[in-house]
Structure 1
Amino acid sequence: MRIVVINHVTLDGVMQGPGRSDEDTRDGFAHGGWAAERAGDDAITRAWGRRLTASSGYLLGRRTYQDVLGHWNNTPDNPFRDALNNAPKYVVSNTLTEPLPWPNSTLLSGDIPAAVAELKRTPGNDLHIMGSGALIQSLSPLGLIDEYLLCIHPLVLGAGRRLFTNGFGPITFTLADATTTATGVIIAIYRPHPRPEPASEDNDLRLEY
């Protein structure tokens, strides 16, 4: 299986709290819901839909797992609840314990890179990472992420947690495809090229899941 990131980001790289005002207020972030005004953009819906309907499941960090599944499962008549519950979910955490609260969830802990590498050797379609900034920043230097589908919004926030932080690279990406939607969002598909060299065993993976 490949591992593919699907995320919304601003022009200045912020990925924090795109969906709603209370989604992620860490560090006093007050701009939550910045992507919601373009929620009706059909091109974005189609791009995400094509990927997620053929997905083999989700690879998520603890915070995203608890927030996304908690929000959708506690929202009455939510159309995404059954699809999310039925999909396989691999949850990276060194603090959670089994059994996990949502159906079809598997806990990955301990040697996370080895566990993720084993998942990649499993036959199937793509596994998708949504949100999960700490997880992305830990796996990318090890060459474990195959592709990024980023919805880049025409917006600068000037504050917030960013997808690519200091110390992330250097990693060179190849642009595989790009589309501009009617609302000015650029849907871009990037692939790391060439793959970064595997990190040493004592690499600090920042496992703050």
Structure 2
Amino acid sequence: MRKIIVCTFLTLDGVMQAPGGPDEDTGSGFEHGGWQKPVSDDEVGAAIAGWYDVSDAMLLGRKTYEIFASYWPTADPANPFTERMNSMQKYVASRTLTSLEWQNSTLLEGDVTEAVRALKESAGGNINVVGSGDLAQTLMRDGLVDEYRLTIHPVIIGSGKRLFADGAIPTALEPVSVTATKGGTVVGVYRPSGKPGYDSY
């Protein structure tokens, strides 16, 4: 069975919104877009590249798809990541898009939860959910996430969309690997392992 892997960049206070640039996502008046690059380093880049070595497809919400589709098809071909992003299969969850221009893109039809369940049962490698916060939260609520790959950066933003927002399902996580880069970013891989335990001291 294919795994659904949520791959997300987070601030220390859990914000995932607009890491890549000031105009990436200004929803709800967000003014901190582009927060990731100043707190990133080469080790973070290597870790992110490794996320794609274990998967052969991406699962994207509409907004993230449109951001990627406006950049990667004409990105610098000397960047080794350009070919990788363009050649990967892209599955897109959207209630408003009717056609997809970016190569190797497929629009999911019908109920997204059922469509993703069918994807998990299909032939192929693992599937990365990149960005796409609303979609990721839907998949978490429906128990469809098999793994989290997170970079947690040393910066506090104070507002913005969070991956684990209010209403997240309480879940225990098994750490698969957790390292810190020279710049202070925590790179963590975690797998859901049931309900959290509770105790007292």
Residue aligning to 1:85: 86
2:136 is aligned with 1:136: yes
| Aligned residue runs from structure 1 range 1-209, under 5 A | 1-39=2-40, 41-75=41-75, 79=79, 80-98=81-99, 100-194=100-194
Q: CA contact under 8 A between 1:6 and 1:128: conserved in structure 2?
A: yes
For the residue of structure 1 that corresponds to 2:55, the secondary structure is coil
What SS does the aligned partner of 1:56 have?
Answer: strand
- CA–CA separation in structure 1 for the residues paired with 2:82 and 2:98: 23
- Note the residue ranges of structure 1 that are not aligned, 5 or more in a row: 197-209
TM-score by length of 2: 0.90
Letter of the structure 1 residue corresponding to residue 60 of structure 2: L
Structure 1 vs Structure 2: percent identity of aligned residues? 43
Deviation at 1:133, TM superposition (A): 0.1
- Distance (Å, rounded) in 1 between the aligned partners of 2:82 and 2:126: 20
49-58 vs 104-113, which moves further:
49-58
Q: Where do 4+ consecutive residues of structure 1 move more than 4 Å?
A: 74-78
How far is 1:22 from its partner? 1.1
How far the C-alpha of 1:86 sits from its partner, in A, is 1.4
CA apart distance, 1:50: 1.8
CA distance, structure 2, for counterparts of residue 184 and residue 118 of structure 1? 39
- Count of aligned positions: 194
Q: Give 3-state SS (helix, strand or coil) of 1:187's partner.
A: strand
1:54 Cα deviation from its structure 2 partner: 3.8
Q: Deviations over 1:109-129 (max 9, x none)?
A: 321111101111123321101
One-letter amino acid of the counterpart of residue 67, structure 1: I
Tell me the alpha carbon deviations over residues 33-74 of structure 1, each in whole angstroms, 9 at most, x when there is no partner: 1111134x2221221212213421100001000012212335
Q: In 1, distance between residues paired with 2:128 and 2:184?
A: 24
SS of residue paired to 1:194: coil
* TM-score of the superposed pair, with normalisation by structure 1: 0.86
Of stretches 83-92 and 58-67 in structure 1, the one that deviates more from structure 2 is: 83-92
Q: 1:10 to 1:177 in 2, by over 3 A?
A: same
CA RMSD of aligned residues (A): 1.8
Measure how far apart 1:78 and its partner are: 6.7
Query: Can you give the 5+ residue segments of structure 2 that lack an aligned partner in the other structure?
Result: 197-201
Aligned equivalent of 2:199: none
* Displacement after TM superposition at 1:168 (Å): 1.3
52-61 or 155-164, larger mean C-alpha shift: 52-61
* 1:17–1:31 CA contact under 8 A, matched in 2: yes
Query: Can you list the C-alpha shifts for 1:129-177, whole angstroms capped at 9, x where unaligned?
Result: 1100000000112111100011001111101111111111222222221
